[in-house]
Every structure is written in structure tokens, then in C-alpha cells.
């Protein structure tokens, strides 16, 4: 379950907080594009944002590898770089 998601446009990272992200690493997608998971725990996942990701609103999903259903997908706004 996604509780919050924060975008770091400088580091090009996405920090997702929530619950039940499980083990092995969850699958994170943004706008249908798979992101590389840099680190994770049962309550937080950090993923790299692609350099070519344009500022816009995208559907964010995170899936536990042991339970492949999407954990409440949410809309996420990627702002313009600072």
C-alpha cells in the first residue's frame, strides 16, 4: 500500500513510503515504465527516475514480488527540475 511518494528532481529519485512492500525487491512502475529499485524495506522503496522523464502526472504502482497485484496505484506529479 502506497502512503506517500516524494520526488527528488536533483538526485533523480523517487521515495515511496507505505506498507507490505515485501521481499525480494518490489516492482515499481511510473507511467507504465519500470524503474530501477535502489533500496527497499517493508515500508519504503527508493527508485531511480529516468533522465528523460518529462514533468507531468504519471500513474505510480508498486508490486510485491510475492503478491503481484498492484498496491493501490496513485497519480504522481513529476515537477520541473529545480
SS3 content of the chain, % helix, strand, coil (to 5): 0, 55, 45
Cell numbers placing 15: 521515495
Averaged pLDDT for residues 49-76: 85
Domain that holds residue 23: 2-78
In which band, very low, low, confident or very high, does the pLDDT at 80 lie, cut at 50, 70 and 90?
confident
| Number of domain units in the chain | 1
Over residues 9-56, the pLDDT tens digits come to 899 999 999 887 877 888 999 999 999 999 999 899 999 999 888 999
CATH of the domain at 23: 2.60.40.10
Q: Quick one: which of 1, 45, 46, 39 has its CA closest to 19? A: 1
Amino acid at each position: 500500500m502506497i502512503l506517500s511518494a516524494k520526488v527528488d528532481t536533483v538526485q533523480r529519485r523517487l521515495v515511496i513510503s507505505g506498507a507490505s512492500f515485501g521481499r525480494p525487491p518490489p516492482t515499481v512502475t511510473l507511467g507504465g515504465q519500470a524503474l530501477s529499485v535502489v533500496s527497499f524495506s517493508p515500508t519504503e522503496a527508493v527508485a531511480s527516475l529516468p533522465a528523460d522523464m518529462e514533468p507531468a502526472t504519471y500513474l505510480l504502482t508498486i508490486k510485491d514480488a510475492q503478491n503481484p497485484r498492484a498496491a493501490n496505484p496513485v497519480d504522481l506529479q513529476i515537477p520541473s527540475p529545480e
